[in-house]
Chain A
């Protein structure tokens, strides 16, 4: 199979790369663009570790083909901070100890950002529902709820 040129808009930058057409957005982000902040936990759409935002909506990068992303804006964890300023979610996650091993964290942050972008003050039930596709094996989710609530107040 021959590689194809594809242009992705990632974290505000237009990037053109040559990739096998069957390679997923996850593989392209990590292996072609060096954006290793997006994690792979299963590559089957089960764990949510690879969650990125496509035009603000959380998608599983492991189930998404770059060709289908088109001109949409892709945001990864590397694009969460603005310049030197961390996103309130990043600060709240640190303060609440919401990241233990940190492996689910990038995906969790992206899902949480999408939630806060549409729901300024989510209830705990809304948070639990929003992050139900992001598996965390360390925290028991409690600190994650507290961090998202704290960021919502920020």
Chain B
């Protein structure tokens, strides 16, 4: 029998019932009395100076109540305090098509929409920059005047161990280039915010955000309103995946429009706007040089990445570091050098998407590991097992490794898929591929420097035995509300269904930094556990006195506090609460969590990469390639994931399967691509996220390494499992047709293009991918001409009736 009454059980999520009956209130479901409807006017130009914004005609339009522009909120903002380069609405310059320029509030949404075409914006076009190479080369065009070199946003160089010595000791060196195409989150819920400024001079903002606390800070900065007068409530997010973790223009616009009109204002983005809001996966070019001895032992790795950041910083400084930080935590690397460059381009800003910055290098590295295994004649699964970074160790870049279940994941996959026997044996057109990976259970540092907890929780027990957990986490579908309820319930000895959860509310709940970097289970889970254990202590103490039993002998479960040696001796939870409240006063306790010191290095840039615990995972993909059409069908993805401990196995499996699904979409066709600054496919019809008919069979295997510091041993599950799926599919396609896909996505066109083609030397083509940076190829003037044609069509005014 389990030592737990809640943990490890497949109980329905506490918030399921609201989802399943239509009772859940997402931001767009809020309708307040006197509410106005807002819409955002967005730039039609990728790069232009704004000479003038004239809102007079819009303001005069019947039904329009207020209009705001960039001049009303000129304060710089952005998620990372050190790189704030955005304004809520563009002030004097636009840097991507879709950038918010102005916002209208009207009596109804149709009127607000019509009024947008009555705002006259006088643009003076500037040369746009669309590629990494142009951004690196063009000193004469500056997307941000502050950039020191051309359009470089951030450049980092880190070196650990004896790199030259490592390469000198190698028997074999592989040098490969890779390109990972950008893609976007595409949650089914579009962003939405409702602001209400009251006569008490307080602002409440309900919004689909992953980061209510960070947004709270930015609202203060931009609106000039003290934070004590602002309340942010993160509504349940209808999917987020990283796409709702920046402060967004429409959130500030709704707030300011409400402040001006003293009426509630709702702004909900339409689907096309969501594609332009973006903040998704960076396109990244990579070069990886890896030295190995004959037996495969890695002697040195030199990893270089060039990130296409789009027009603004977003989390870019972290993304840049993340491309290099986590390559070292899976396999032993004694010498490592990382060079990263992120550039600005005139496209929607990139940011964090599930796997933030680690997905692209992991794809490149795991494809390269597959090549090395083949070069050395090693089984790719056994090879990975042989070079594992050990548990309870330090990596070359000074990251602390604790629990480490990658070896167990590989073993589980071999048992489930018989990978080693089947690799290379399936015949032409069929393939099987493998990859490993790791991810953080929360970033070791907050985005703004402070010594406060990363997560706080408060628990109250009422006189009827009701338990209320308050925590600033944002429920984005990952199941955080249920996690809070489950951890509290396990510690107190009640069931999750008895627990009320108040989350994502900056006034009612202690700060949690937000639902990003897979931090919530580990950090908020520990904070809740901390609070619950304090209350448990009071309950047990009161029960021990009443039962006349030593407190050490008492256990809590199923609404009882009972003698472990004689469970018939018990006191009910409600009675224990009454006794405890009589002794201690009101039953409220707070708990908090902060990662331990010393989990990373002390060099500049050491802040990105450390985490209290790494999750590990590996995936096997099985594919069929149609040699006539080039269509790649992924038949099955099996993922083994070390989650520490599965607090609720059904929910962990859901995260693993959902990650596999999303990774599959990224490698098989999703791409966030532009022509002349315009998104080529800003709809769910054209940007094809996988349907039920596309999605492979998915199997999740949970590996429990029981982390010593995790809440009940748990680590993250929401992001890491995406990473290995992408290289596993690329490696499977190679097994099927003998062509290496060193760039994503693997489309039918590319497969057909590769099959049977010969290169310049007459050899059959065995690789699709970049050979370096495309230097000297950019022609922005041509891009500008293309753009003018398309914006002319776009700006054709709708008739207003």
Contact = CB atoms under 8 A, between A and B. Distances in A.
**Do the two chains bind?**
yes
B190 A41 contact: yes
Contacts of B60: none
B21 A140 contact: no
Nearest to A40: B28
A138 B572 CA distance: 39
A94 B20 contact: yes
Contacts of A20: 110
Contacts of A35: 22
Contacts of B692: 127-129, 131-132, 134, 136, 141, 144
B264 interface: no
A138 B656 CA distance: 10
- The main secondary structure of chain B at its interface with chain A is loop
A134 to B, nearest CB: 8
B691 interface: yes
Given A128-B692, A142-B698, A103 B21 contact: no
Residue among A30, A34, A46, A101 having the largest count of chain B Cβ atoms under 10 Å: A101
B685 A46 contact: yes
Contacts of A139: 654, 657-658, 661
B672 to A, nearest CB: 15
A103 B187 contact: yes
A103 to B, nearest CB: 3
A105 B19 contact: yes
A77 B21 contact: yes
A62 to B, nearest CB: 11
Given A39-B238, A105-B20, A141-B695, A100 B188 contact: no
B633 to A, nearest CB: 14
Residue among A78, A80, A106, A136 having the largest count of chain B Cβ atoms under 10 Å: A136
A64 interface: no
A24 interface: no
Interface string B175-197: 00000000001111110000000
Nearest to B476: A101
Contacts of B801: 1
A97 B653 contact: yes
Contacts of A42: 271, 683-684
Contacts of A36: 22, 25, 28-29, 31
Interface in A5-41: 20, 30-31, 34-41
Interface in A101-122: 101-106, 109
Nearest to A79: B22
Given A42-B683, A46-B685, A94-B12, A101 B187 contact: yes
Interface in A75-97: 76-78, 80-81, 86, 90, 93-97
Contacts of B270: 43
Contacts of B28: 36, 40
Nearest to B656: A140
A47 B270 CA distance: 13
Nearest to B185: A137
A2 to B, nearest CB: 12
B693 interface: yes
Contacts of B207: none
A103 B20 contact: no
B29 A138 contact: no
B565 interface: no
A86 to B, nearest CB: 7
B657 A47 contact: no
Contact of B189 (A31, A77, A78, A103): A103
Nearest to B637: A140
Contacts of B772: none
A40 B26 CA distance: 11
Contact of B271 (A41, A90, A105, A129): A41
A104 B657 CA distance: 17
B19 A138 contact: no
Contact of A140 (B10, B693, B698): B698
B684 to A, nearest CB: 4
Contacts of A38: 22
A140 B20 contact: no
A100 B22 CA distance: 14
A68 B13 CA distance: 39
Chain B, interface size: which category?
A: 35 or more
Interface in A124-154: 127-129, 131-144
A118 to B, nearest CB: 18
Nearest to A96: B650
A99 interface: yes
Interface string B663-698: 000000000000000000001110001011101011
B16 A104 contact: no
A53 interface: no
Nearest to A104: B188
Contact of A109 (B17, B20, B650): B20
B684 A47 contact: yes
A138 B26 CA distance: 16
A76 to B, nearest CB: 7
A74 interface: no
B19 A102 contact: yes
B22 A106 contact: yes
Nearest to B697: A142
A81 B17 CA distance: 11
B22 A86 contact: no
A141 B190 contact: no
B651 interface: yes
A102 B12 CA distance: 13
A134 B236 CA distance: 20
A59 interface: no
Contacts of A106: 22
B12 A41 contact: no
Interface string A33-73: 01111111111101101000000000000000000000000
Nearest to B651: A97
A94 B17 contact: yes
Nearest to A20: B110
A103 B26 contact: yes
Contacts of B271: 41-44, 46-47
B23 interface: yes
Contacts of B697: 142
B237 interface: yes
Residue among A47, A76, A99, A135 having the largest count of chain B Cβ atoms under 10 Å: A99
B188 A37 contact: no
Contacts of A136: 188, 692
Contacts of A47: 188, 271, 684
B445 to A, nearest CB: 28
Contact of B689 (A77, A103, A135, A143): A135
21 contacts: A41-B190, A43-B270, A44-B685, A94-B16, A97-B648, A97-B653, A97-B654, A100-B478, A101-B189, A102-B19, A102-B20, A103-B239, A129-B692, A132-B693, A137-B185, A137-B241, A138-B239, A140-B660, A141-B692, A143-B650, A144-B692
Given A30-B29, A42-B683, A90-B17, 7 more contacts: A36-B25, A37-B21, A94-B13, A97-B16, A97-B650, A104-B188, A138-B654
Q: Which 5 A-B pairs have the closest CB atoms?
A: A37-B22, A101-B477, A102-B19, A103-B238, A140-B661
Interface of B: 10, 12-13, 15-26, 28-29, 31, 110, 185-190, 236-241, 270-271, 476-479, 648, 650-651, 653-654, 657-658, 660-662, 683-685, 689, 691-693, 695, 697-698, 801
